Structure 1
Amino acid sequence: MARQRKRIGPYQLIEEVGTGGMGVVWRAVHTVLQREVAIKELVGSSAQDKESLERFRREGMALAQLRHESVVGIHDLFPSSTRLYMVLEYVDGPTLASLLKEAPLPWDVVATIGARVAAALEHAHHHKLIHRDVKPANVMLSKAGEVKLTDFGIARDQILGDLTKTGYAVGTPSYMPPEVLTGERADARSDIYSLGVTLYECASGRNPFAEHDSSKIFGAILASKFPRLGKVKRGLPRRFRAIVERCMRADARKRYATAADLRRDFERLLADSGARANHRQRLVGFLRSRGRLSETEALTCLNAAELLQTVSAELVAPASPFARAAASLAAALVGGGAGWWLAQRPDLWERLLP
């Protein structure tokens, strides 16, 4: 909860939703537009530290270059009193880090998320931005089933360069690619490596370097010493494992050359596996199955056509109960009563969830 309810410019703070060593994030509302936003501010010594302030400004500048459905958008960056505030799109869902505290994610959900984050990186790389801190805590799922890449605080502009001399002056050790640890500059393939580690963790429930203490993590990364994904988590499709582990190759030349190549491989895998639902449908269903959405919220996120597609994807035989249910649903959809109809059939709703 918020330490105290206060206003910052035209924004009324509602509650504190995140905190870290350098800053805090608030859920807030614009008092005139009545739009929910997230407000990020530096706290403690970071609020006065020149390098922290410059990095904060650079994050705002980086986000201002981007406009993509899988990148958290920025609305404003402004000073008030002695503080600098960043106004961001508010994402009303969990981070992957939060979801991983409960259990690993289904492989097709991981592939879906991987495709969307790869698309976000593809967009950022097109604008000459390297994220440099892709990890579960920086990927969020909205209640509407959208994937959002957050925290460009240490992003590097390939044109403007770094704030410091080292490529990864700050970041999260267990997600750093080998080339950065040896002093080379980060490029698009470095983000792909970090995404691979993130997806490995999402699918298996453990970081590939978790068994190493902090003093040995760098050595394990440089030597590419981690358990193969298939040994950590049984039942994962071979193609899925191959995609994730290709991202994590120690030699950057053996990884995907671009985020676009990675995105296309995930999309082909999902299509070949028979996935018919779009990414929003699949992720809304997943969030509902994890108890992160109520039935009402889930139904609000899916329109009539998407609901029908979701039911059709579950059919196991033309004469099955699912087929008869789908026919009933189709009739209800034509009548415009999709939400009401499913609300009266909780038994069917449960059968539609993954």
Structure 2
Amino acid sequence: MISERAVVDGRFELLEPLGSGGMGTVWRAYDLALHREVALKEVRAETDGAGSPGVHRERVLREARALARIGHPNVVAIHHIVDSSEVAHPWIVMELVRGQSLADHLMGGPMQPSQVAHLGRGILAALRAAHQVGVLHRDIKPANVLLREDGSPVLTDFGIAALNDMTGLTSTGSVVGSLDYVAPERLSGQEGHTASDLWSLGLLLYFAVEGFHPMRRESTVATLAAVIRGEVPPPQRAGVLTAVLTALLVPDPDRRPSAEQVDLMLAQAVGFAGAPTVFDVPGGGSGAAASGGLGAGSGPGAFGGSGAGNGPGVFGGVGAGTDPGAFGGQGAG
């Protein structure tokens, strides 16, 4: 256990832990060289027999490489990586996003279609930037989207991203990501489709505007069956977003529109509805929140706590949902 006020790499003073998951711990830290607060992701060696510390290290490095490739205002920024013989494991140094997660925001109820359309354009912009440099996110969900104080979305947690020039880190037959947001084709072993991220985006937008997840069931097996069928009930509250959701949420990835077409449809929905450029983020002015989710509802900071507006936090969790998180933790909610 690392004590508070410890300094990593002679530069990053650990201020407080913000949350922990199967992958490790996220800390709020102070950069002694640049005099600013940052987020540090600390890897943790696996102890449950599901993998090895080496695999965890590669996932940390993969996340850093994925983030470094993208460089977009709607994607969380990476500042530095600490990986030397002087530290037991690598650390990723990232921006500390001040706001709250979309998952926490939606605990207050569904959003208006115009707001969701504007939100969707921001997340889609992040995905387009990632796809252009050969990065698939593979875990799009509300817990992995942070809302800055001005309401703009920031896509986080690229720890299970697929890079087109890197081999996979999971065993044959396994699927990474939150089950109820995974595209049907991925469950049949079809990986590498940018359309799979668009399916997950469609489900995120559906949940945001309808107030419930169309694939979530009482058990993992029932959820799995629903995802495989890919049968999404027609939205009832979506209004100007109905056409977008209908186009995205089709089981055949080849029938989904391109990212460019989706952006045009979302832009039309924003314009038609006269959507504001930002929306209120409760608690956003007093701290930073986190994505990831291990027990939403009880604490400040990272991993889905309901106190995200009252204390700073970051991202990097295992995610809200019905399935085990991508990094080995059980999702909540």
Is contact 2:100-2:283 (8 Å) kept? no
Structure 2 unaligned residues grouped into runs of 5+: 287-333
1:248 match: 249
Tell me which amino acid in the other structure corresponds to 2:110: P
Q: TM-score w.r.t. structure 1 length?
A: 0.73
As a proportion of its length, which structure holds more helix? 1
Say which SS state the counterpart of residue 17 (structure 1) adopts: strand
Let me know the Cα RMSD of the aligned residues: 2.1
Distance (Å, rounded) in 1 between the aligned partners of 2:159 and 2:66: 9
Tell me which amino acid in the other structure corresponds to 1:261: Q
Count of residue pairs the alignment pairs up: 279
Structure 1 unaligned residues grouped into runs of 5+: 295-354
Q: Equivalences for 1:315-330 in 2 at 5 Å?
A: none
Q: Deviations over 1:224-276 (max 9, x none)?
A: 2333221xxx4x31x3022023212111122122x23212211121112223x
Shift in Å, 1:3: 6.5
Distance (Å, rounded) in 2 between the aligned partners of 1:160 and 1:49: 19
1:262 match: 262
Q: Equivalences for 1:4-83 in 2 at 5 Å?
A: 4-9=4-9, 10-45=11-46, 49-79=53-83, 80-83=86-89
Is contact 1:3-1:16 (8 Å) kept? no
Check if 1:147 corresponds to 2:153: yes
Q: Equivalences for 1:181-200 in 2 at 5 Å?
A: 181-200=187-206
Which of 73, 77, 97 is the equivalent residue of 1:91? 97
Say which SS state the counterpart of residue 56 (structure 1) adopts: helix
Is contact 2:175-2:187 (8 Å) kept? no
Shift in Å, 1:84: 1.1
Check if 1:129 corresponds to 2:135: yes
Shift in Å, 1:215: 0.7
Measured at CA, do residues 100 and 54 of structure 1 come closer, stay the same or move farther in structure 2, by a change above 3 Å? same
1:340 match: none
Say which SS state the counterpart of residue 226 (structure 1) adopts: coil
2:124 match: 118
Distance (Å, rounded) in 1 between the aligned partners of 2:174 and 2:117: 27
Q: Deviations over 1:156-212 (max 9, x none)?
A: 112334234658632110000010001112311000001111111111222112234
Is contact 1:116-1:263 (8 Å) kept? no
1:211 match: 217
Distance (Å, rounded) in 2 between the aligned partners of 1:180 and 1:169: 7
1:108 match: 114
Distance (Å, rounded) in 2 between the aligned partners of 1:23 and 1:147: 24
Distance (Å, rounded) in 2 between the aligned partners of 1:54 and 1:86: 12
Greater relative CO, 1 or 2 (CA 8 Å, sep 6+): 2
Q: Equivalences for 1:155-234 in 2 at 5 Å?
A: 155-164=161-170, 166=172, 169-230=175-236, 234=237
Distance (Å, rounded) in 1 between the aligned partners of 2:159 and 2:14: 22
Q: Deviations over 1:42-84 (max 9, x none)?
A: 1242796111111111111111111100000111111352121
Say which SS state the counterpart of residue 133 (structure 1) adopts: coil
Identity %: 34
* Structure 1, 34-43 or 121-130: larger mean CA deviation: 34-43
Say which SS state the counterpart of residue 94 (structure 2) adopts: strand
Shift in Å, 1:13: 1.8
Is contact 1:6-1:12 (8 Å) kept? yes
Distance (Å, rounded) in 2 between the aligned partners of 1:242 and 1:15: 45
Q: Deviations over 1:17-45 (max 9, x none)?
A: 23222121111121131122111111242
Shift in Å, 1:125: 0.5
Distance (Å, rounded) in 2 between the aligned partners of 1:62 and 1:99: 27
- Higher CA-based Rg: 1
Q: Deviations over 1:103-158 (max 9, x none)?
A: 22222221111100101110111101111111111100011333100011111112
* Structure 1, 2-11 or 127-136: larger mean CA deviation: 2-11
Distance (Å, rounded) in 2 between the aligned partners of 1:212 and 1:260: 36
Q: TM-score w.r.t. structure 2 length?
A: 0.78
Tell me which amino acid in the other structure corresponds to 1:272: F
Distance (Å, rounded) in 2 between the aligned partners of 1:66 and 1:142: 19
Say which SS state the counterpart of residue 262 (structure 2) adopts: helix
Q: Deviations over 1:79-103 (max 9, x none)?
A: 3521210001110111111112222
Say which SS state the counterpart of residue 264 (structure 1) adopts: helix
Is contact 2:116-2:209 (8 Å) kept? yes
